[in-house]
A and B are shown apart, each in its own frame.
Chain A
């Protein structure tokens, strides 16, 4: 029944070592999002794809990149993780039918930076 799947659930990386988080969905939704959620804070939108169109939030650091090779998969690449990038990373999907629609979230990947 899994709809939005994130792998791995826990990721440990070293300061400055590139890391990739993955998200897949079985809902065939055309919009996919990446959020960063630090401890006890609200999720913050990093970017989203509307089909293949990439939309970056103005304050998302260049250190964060994303790829969406097909409808089902989306990746978050952190090129040089810093200690401040330790957080939960949430993937979400939605379908757009005229207006926006409900976002469905994955379980998240908790990133630790040593």
Chain B
């Protein structure tokens, strides 16, 4: 069974600074997808960034980038130039390539301070 671990229950960062959220996972699959989802307080979950395991290049989306280390089974999220609107719960998620069974980590609550 796949498991996803987020070892940082809470983090905070000053506005405009950079923060990195950690995620590790355990799987015997070779092909899979990894995601970071953001869930702001009382708002719906939205996709931040995704990575296909067969791609060596790290995904980037504007201020968001990942450091994907397949051998180490690590998938961290870097948020540059943090903004107040980045305050949210961040979930790392894993999905095998050949089915729809997505597994979430426990989440990291990020607070961006002015």
Contact = CB atoms under 8 A, between A and B. Distances in A.
Interface of A: 31, 33, 40-45, 48, 50, 55, 57, 90, 94, 96, 99-100, 102-108
Contact of A45 (B31, B44, B96, B102): B102
Given A33-B100, A50-B100, A105-B46, A100 B33 contact: yes
Contacts of B43: 107
A99 B46 CA distance: 20
Contacts, number: 50
Among A45, A90, A99, A102, max chain B CB count under 10 A is at A99
Contact of B106 (A42, A90, A103): A42
Given A102-B35, A102-B50, A45 B106 contact: no
Contacts of A94: 100
Interface of B: 31, 33, 35, 37, 43-47, 50, 91, 95-107
B106 A99 contact: no
Nearest to A43: B104
A102 B47 contact: yes
A103 B50 CA distance: 11
A59 B16 CA distance: 43
Given A102-B47, A105-B46, A107-B44, A43 B100 contact: no
Nearest to B91: A42
A45 B98 contact: no
A40 B104 CA distance: 13
Contacts of B104: 42-44
B99 A41 contact: no
Among A33, A48, A50, A100, max chain B CB count under 10 A is at A100
